[in-house]
Amino acid sequence: MSASPEILQLAMRSLPHGQEFRFVDRMVSLTPGVRGVGEYHVRGDEYFLRGHLPGEPIMPGVLMAEAAAQVAGMVAQEDPANPRWPRLKLTALRAVKILGAVRPGDTLRIEAVVTGVLGDMIQAEVSASVSGTKVLSTEVTLSGVDPAKSA
């Protein structure tokens, strides 16, 4: 069951990033602590497109991986079984596969599934697609302050 529109908006507000480093425009669905889907629309005027392959701008793969981490973080932060993880940070990426390009006008759809929580570490499997074609798959590890240790 997906979260209410209010919870989806709360998840977006939980991102600690400044506007210029947010690679999620909206959460489409969220099962708190379990899975979620977010989207980022590449407008074409983003700063990173100016120098990334002039004449054929594409979203850098490392920023697609950052978008994956941001969606995974929002899923984890809304987990009702744990207090909110304060300011999760990307700790590791594994098995990153960049399978396609994301161009101006494309909407990157990012799906994250939390696969494990151990202490202050959160593991998620994330994939991203454009118009149904997978362009990224990765395993993301995030870390924060263990809620049990911050009390």
Strand partners, 37: 29, 111
CA within 13 Å, CB half, 137: 5
For the stretch 20-78, pLDDT in tens is 889 999 999 999 889 999 999 999 999 899 888 888 999 999 999 999 999 999 998 87
Tell me the C-alpha distance between 76 and 112, whole Å: 10
Find the CATH number of the domain harbouring 115: 3.10.129.10
Is residue 149 in some structural domain? no
pLDDT category of residue 150 using cuts at 50, 70 and 90: low
- Quick one: pLDDT at residue 93? 97
User: Which positions are annotated as active-site residues?
Assistant: 52
Is residue 151 in some structural domain? no
Number of domains in the chain: 1
Which of these ranges, 18-32, 80-94, 95-109, 130-144, has the smallest mean pLDDT? 80-94
For the stretch 115-149, pLDDT in tens is 998 888 999 999 999 999 999 999 999 998 655 56
- Quick one: pLDDT at residue 51? 84
pLDDT category of residue 16 using cuts at 50, 70 and 90: confident
Is residue 148 in some structural domain? no
* Strands laid side by side in the 133-143 sheet: 26-31, 35-41, 107-118, 121-130, 133-143, 89-98
pLDDT at 94 over 90: yes
Q: Which range marks the domain in which residue 123 is found?
A: 5-143
